[in-house]
Amino acid sequence: MKFSKLQKGITLALSMSMLVACNGDSDSDNDIGSGDNSWVAGEFKAKEIFANKCAVVRTGSDPYTNEVYKDRAGTLTDEKMWLRSWNHESYLWFDEVEDVDPANYSTPQAYFEVLKTFAKTSSGADKDNFHFAQDTAEYRKRTQGSASSGYGIRWQARNLDEDGRFTLPRTLYVATIEPGSPADTAGFIRGDQIIKVDGADFLNGNDVETLNAGLFPTNNGQSHDITVKDVFGAERTITVTSGSYDLSPVKATNTFVHAGKTVGYIQFDTFNISDAQDDLINKFTQFRNQNVSELVVDLRYNGGGLLALSSQLAYMIAGDVNTQNRDYYTLKYNGKWSNDETIGFYDKKIDWQNGNLTNIDLPTVGLNKVYVLSSDSTCSASEALINGLKGIDLDVVLIGGQTCGKPYGFVPTDNCSTTYFTIQFSGVNDKGFGEYSDGLIPKQNPNFQNEVRGCTVSDDLTRPLGDISEGMLSAALYHIERGSCPPIAANYAPKTSTTAKQVVGEPLKMPQDRTQQMIENNAIFTPLETTNK
């Protein structure tokens, strides 16, 4: 089976489900004329006229894809006009975008921010909360290079108001640490609470510049002293130096016997690194050989990634009997950019380089039930896994918190050194359901389609992930044994964000960062200069 060019770039993230890197080649292969780049309200010229006309021209080739840059001399106006035409053609809600003069915006990125709908969902949330751009070099590095830089810490912020701003005293914890990262080497552990940064009081202090610099280093080789309090109340000061490190999508696995059943546990933090395929194959081969009869998949920090990888994981869970002649996901477009496209349950290993399925069978445990651990950082391709398995009547038990709510996706498209992400499709399962824009919700007795049988349980930072006494995992084990939620389940902490970004000025704000959540979600927080979503 050969993937289409579209499938190679599909991103359901938040994620996103990018099968391989997409350079927006449909936009850049042909120049159909120079044309006039002046704006006329309601008139949209072909995007190809402006594609790859750049104010700053790149030369050479992409170090990660080896594709020669197609940049040619142009202007910022050309770049903005390309955005306008491309977005109007492909954006899922193109008819809800106000056609504003690009001359009013100093950069293409600033203009892109308004090329979206500003409608709200029934809960009052933004209908489109996933519209963003990223430097292409950084995007390629994180998605193709499987590496990043910084400390390698996933923070968990609490005591946040409705706008994502801390209320005093500020509360910030270490949620996870990337193995082999500077934070791992320095000695941070899950559950550490930040007390001071380079001597500045984090809890109540006003020295935001010092706090930002210490928590979010902008370059490698920057050393800072961070004082933390561990789960037992003991304080210690750690000197940590920012640096580069590899990313590990699979961070913890375990197999144990509980209530006479062999239980497999796997923590999987991102669908966005194709190398994760081999890790999943190895772990599910072990689960199969160990005759695992119950499975717990920990996606509490998984913000999405490759929809094809999500489909593979779904197959490895459910097997042939449950998935035969069933659809994993159908992508619904705006009616003019592309035809709806159906993705099946991929049962073969993928050759990512050439974009095709191989003849190598995937291992499977062939279960009729799966436990999924979730939080508000469980997004996109992770939500597709939950919804896709429910679509074939697999018994999915959701343990943890309400997911982030992203039944949408996009093809990341590069133009003039910036990669743009605009919502281009929604996704539905085999039963045609996909409306969970306010998240999938664990309920002991579900009444609505976006409610999933399960238990609301807090993220227990006092225990390592994979520890059978950790809150979410222990609740899953209780449910495995008794078929019900624990009698006293911890309430899932509201106003909690497992993503953070740098800000300038007071008060310190750590809102949800879509770049982290949709592209990386690999335990690294990318500093941004503004608080704009």
Give per-residue pLDDT as tens, 358-407. 999 999 999 999 999 999 999 999 999 999 999 999 999 999 999 999 99
Report pLDDT for 146: 54
Report pLDDT for 315: 98
Report pLDDT for 338: 83
Report pLDDT for 29: 39
**Which of 286-295, 435-444, 510-519 has the weakest average pLDDT?**
510-519
User: Mean per-residue pLDDT for 210-217?
Assistant: 91
Cβ count within 10 A of residue 73: 10
- Three-class SS of residue 11? strand
Report pLDDT for 532: 24
The pLDDT confidence band at residue 145, using thresholds 50, 70 and 90, is: low
User: Mean per-residue pLDDT for 172-194?
Assistant: 96
User: For residue 462, how many C-alpha atoms fall within 13 Å in the half-sphere facing its CB?
Assistant: 7
The pLDDT confidence band at residue 292, using thresholds 50, 70 and 90, is: very high
Q: Is the pLDDT of residue 446 over 90?
A: yes
**pLDDT tens by residue, 251-286:** 999 999 999 999 999 999 999 888 899 999 999 999
Element (H, E) at 311: helix 307-323
User: Mean per-residue pLDDT for 328-335?
Assistant: 94
Q: Which residues are registered as beta bridge partners of 413?
A: 420
User: Mean per-residue pLDDT for 195-209?
Assistant: 95
Q: Is 9 left (phi over 0), alpha (psi -120 to 50) or beta?
A: alpha
Report pLDDT for 125: 85
Backbone angles phi, psi at 86, to 5 degrees: -60, -45
**Whole-number Å distance between alpha carbons of 284 and 279:** 9
Q: Is the pLDDT of residue 24 over 50?
A: no
Q: Which residues are registered as beta bridge partners of 229?
A: 193, 235
Q: Is the pLDDT of residue 23 over 60?
A: no
User: Mean per-residue pLDDT for 165-189?
Assistant: 93
Enumerate helices (H) and strands (E) in the chain, giving the number of each.
12, 26
Residue 292 tokens, joined: 């695992």
Q: Which residues are registered as beta bridge partners of 294?
A: 263
**pLDDT tens by residue, 66-120:** 899 999 999 999 999 999 999 999 999 999 999 999 999 999 999 999 999 999 9
Cβ count within 10 A of residue 33: 10
**pLDDT tens by residue, 115-143:** 999 999 888 888 998 899 999 988 887 66
User: Mean per-residue pLDDT for 30-47?
Assistant: 78
Q: Which residue has the higher pLDDT, 471 or 162?
A: 471
Provide the strand spans (E) within 124-249: 132-135, 147-150, 153-160, 166-177, 193-197, 200-201, 223-229, 235-241, 243-246
Report pLDDT for 77: 97
**Whole-number Å distance between alpha carbons of 211 and 208:** 5
Amino acid (one-letter) located at 43? E
Report pLDDT for 410: 86
**pLDDT tens by residue, 411-439:** 889 999 999 999 999 999 999 999 999 99
Q: Which residues are registered as beta bridge partners of 331?
A: 341, 427
Backbone angles phi, psi at 412, to 5 degrees: -65, 125
CA distances from 515 to 27, 67, 268, 522, 525 (A): 23, 24, 18, 11, 9
Report pLDDT for 34: 53
Q: Is 199 left (phi over 0), alpha (psi -120 to 50) or beta?
A: left
Report pLDDT for 488: 66
**Whole-number Å distance between alpha carbons of 289 and 282:** 11
Q: Is the pLDDT of residue 339 over 50?
A: yes
Residues 6+ apart with CB under 8 A from 180: 152, 245, 246, 248
Cβ count within 10 A of residue 295: 23
Q: Is the pLDDT of residue 64 over 90?
A: no
User: Mean per-residue pLDDT for 233-242?
Assistant: 97
Q: Is the pLDDT of residue 529 over 60?
A: no
Report pLDDT for 352: 87
Residue in this structure with the two tokens 């309920």, named with its chain if needed: 443
